[in-house]
Amino acid sequence: MELTDRGKRDARFGSRIRKLRTDRGLTLRALSEQLDGYAYSYLSRVERGIQPASRALVAALDAFYEAQGALSELHSLERDVQFARYSREYVRLERSARRIEVFTSSIIPGLLQTREYATDLFRTGLPAADREDVAAKVAARIERQAILDGEDPPYYWAVMDEAALMRPIAGSGMRAQLKRLLAACDRPRTEIQVLPWHQGLHPLLGGSLTLLTMSNGALWAHVESFSSGQTVGSDEDGEKVIEQRTRYDVARSMALSTRESAVLIRRYLEESE
Q: Are residues 153 and 219 in the same domain?
A: yes
Number of compact structural domains in the chain? 2
* Separation between Cα atoms, residue 222 and residue 241, nearest integer Å: 9
Q: Are residues 154 and 23 in the same domain?
A: no
pLDDT per residue, tens digit, the chain (273 aa), is 444 555 667 777 888 888 888 888 989 888 988 887 788 888 888 888 888 777 788 888 888 888 777 777 666 655 545 445 545 677 788 888 999 999 998 889 999 999 999 999 888 877 777 787 788 788 888 888 988 988 899 999 999 999 999 887 766 689 999 999 999 999 999 999 999 999 988 888 877 899 999 999 999 998 876 555 678 887 778 898 999 999 999 999 999 999 999 999 999 999 887
Domain boundary among 62, 80, 98: 80
Q: Are residues 103 and 56 in the same domain?
A: no
> pTM for the whole thing?
0.70
Strands ordered across the beta sheet of 229-233: 190-195, 155-161, 99-104, 208-213, 219-224, 229-233
How many C-beta neighbours within 10 Å does residue 235 have?
10
Q: Are residues 215 and 192 in the same domain?
A: yes
Q: Are residues 26 and 142 in the same domain?
A: no
pLDDT at 270: 92
Q: Are residues 37 and 133 in the same domain?
A: no
Q: Are residues 100 and 215 in the same domain?
A: yes
* Separation between Cα atoms, residue 198 and residue 176, nearest integer Å: 26
Q: Are residues 76 and 210 in the same domain?
A: no
pLDDT at 131: 81
* Inter-residue contact 20 to 57 (CB < 8 Å): no
pLDDT at 2: 43
Residue ranges in the chain assigned as alpha helix (H): 5-23, 28-34, 40-47, 55-64, 70-80, 85-94, 115-125, 131-144, 163-166, 173-185, 238-254, 258-272
List all residues 6 or more positions away from 247 whose beta carbon is below 8 Å from its beta carbon.
203, 204, 209
Q: Are residues 215 and 253 in the same domain?
A: yes
First to last CA, the chain: 46
Domain range holding 21? Answer: 5-80
